Structures are given as C-alpha cells and as structure tokens.
Amino acid sequence: MRREYFDQMYAASPDPWGFTDRWYEQRKYALTLAALTRQRYRSVFEPGCSIGVLTAQLALRCDRLLAVDLVDTAVQNARREVRDLPDGAGDVVVERWDAHDDWPEASFDLIVVSEMLYYLDPPDARRFMDRAADHLDADGEVLLVHWRERVPGYPMTGDEAHTLAVATRGLDTQATYEDDDLVLHLLAPTGAGSTAVREGLRTASSH
C-alpha cells in the first residue's frame, strides 16, 4: 500500500487503530508475548512498530531492539513511548524504514511482524519473508500476528499473509494460535528446539 494511506491515517488520529485503548489490542499483545519461547532475547527487529505500544513491551524482553515504521509521525510517537522505560529494558532505537528498503546489516534472534505483512503485495511480502529468514540467527524466531477480517484495499487478509509466511524456505512452524479475530504463527529455523528442550526437560524427539 502507498505511504499516503498511512500518512492520512495518522493525520486523522495519532492512534488510528486504537493501540492504546482497545482491549482487542491489549489482548493481542499479551498473546504475542506469551507465544515467545525465551524470557529474554539478544536483538529484536520490529518492522511496522507504529506508535510503539508493543515496542515498549518488547523492550522489557531483550537487550537491543530496532523498531521501524514508514511514517514520520509514528516514529516520533514511538520514540516518546520508549523514552522512559523501566530498569531492565534493553536499548531501543526507533527509525524510519520502508519495507522495500534494504534490510539492516545486523541479524536478529527475534523478528516481530505485527499487523504489517498484509499491507504488502504478495510478491513484496514473499521477498520480505525471505529477507527475514536471511537475517535470522540460527536460534532465532519470527513471530507474526494479524487481524483476520478482510479489509477493503489491503492486498491480503491476515490468513493469506500467514499462508505465505509459513511457506518460507528454511523456517518451520513452532506455534500457532487463531480465533475469530486474529491469527498468530511463531516460526523458527528448521530443527530449532523448544523451550523444554533447551532447558533439558525433554529430548527433541520426545512428546
């Protein structure tokens, strides 16, 4: 979708999707964080961070966080959101970034794609997911969560975006959640162990 669409959304409201006050959003954030298999991550990438509500919560679970968005207004608001984080939060950098731009040079052990992939045309979404896999550490994870209802003008539904995402070469599905409103997938490189395997509670082959 064109940048003008998002500029108009933020011009009409500083929080156009109700990230700060809708229970749907708070519940979604809780589900997102609960799906993560590690208590803390080394380096996180959050494309499409919007005004930084989820960003501030992710910052408590990592050492470093790069959050990016297409819209200057959203970037400015996200920077304010993470300005005074509590002790224990990781270092957060918020920058402007277009999903068609070159990816950061760094690799990440967590990439969070929340309500973002369905804004891309399928070929661009395919390239985005391939780049995500390329920039993922061997022990990394990609967490995707999206609204399921078809929105007029959006290139894909959440379900369509996730069907494309789970087909990414080299990534396997580690966890899935869906209800009438949202769909969530946690992807990781083929052969990645679960939380229990990493903590020695079971072997990789047992169930």
Predicted confidence (pLDDT) per residue in 25-51, tens digit: 999 999 999 999 999 999 999 999 999
Q: How far apart are alpha carbons 109 and 107 in whole angstroms?
A: 7
Question: Cα-atom radius of gyration of the chain, to the nearest Å?
Answer: 16
Domain positions in the chain: 3-198
Q: What is the pLDDT of residue 122?
A: 98
Q: Quick check: 207 pLDDT over 60?
A: no
Is the pLDDT at 206 greater than 70? The verdict is: no
pLDDT exceeds cutoff 80 at 205: no
CATH superfamily for 3-198 is: Vaccinia Virus protein VP39 (3.40.50.150)
* Phi/psi at 136 (5° precision): -100, 130
Sign of CA dihedral 27, 67, 81, 91: positive
What pLDDT shows up at residue 193?
75
77 vs 96: CA distance, rounded Å: 12
Q: What share of the chain is helix, strand, coil (3-state, %, to 5)?
A: 35, 25, 40
Q: For residues 120 and 128, is the Cβ–Cβ distance under 8 A? A: yes
pLDDT band, very low/low/confident/very high, at 21 (cuts 50, 70, 90) = very high
Residue 146 near residue 118, CB atoms below 8 Å: yes
Question: Tell me, what's the pLDDT at 201?
Answer: 87
* % of the chain residues with pLDDT over 70: 99
Tokens of 130: 């391939």
Return the SS3 of 48: coil
Q: pTM of the full predicted structure?
A: 0.94
Read off the amino acid at residue 61: R
Q: Which residues of 180-195 are buried (b: 16+ CB within 10 A; e: fewer)?
A: eebbbbbbbbeebeee
Per-residue pLDDT tens for 53-104? 999 999 999 999 999 999 999 999 999 999 999 999 999 999 999 999 999 9
pLDDT tens track for 104-133: 999 999 999 999 999 999 999 999 999 999
pLDDT at res. 179: 98
The tokens for 2 are: 């064109």
Q: How confident is the model at residue 52 (pLDDT cuts 50, 70, 90)?
A: very high
pLDDT of residue 199: 83
pLDDT value at position 202?
A: 87
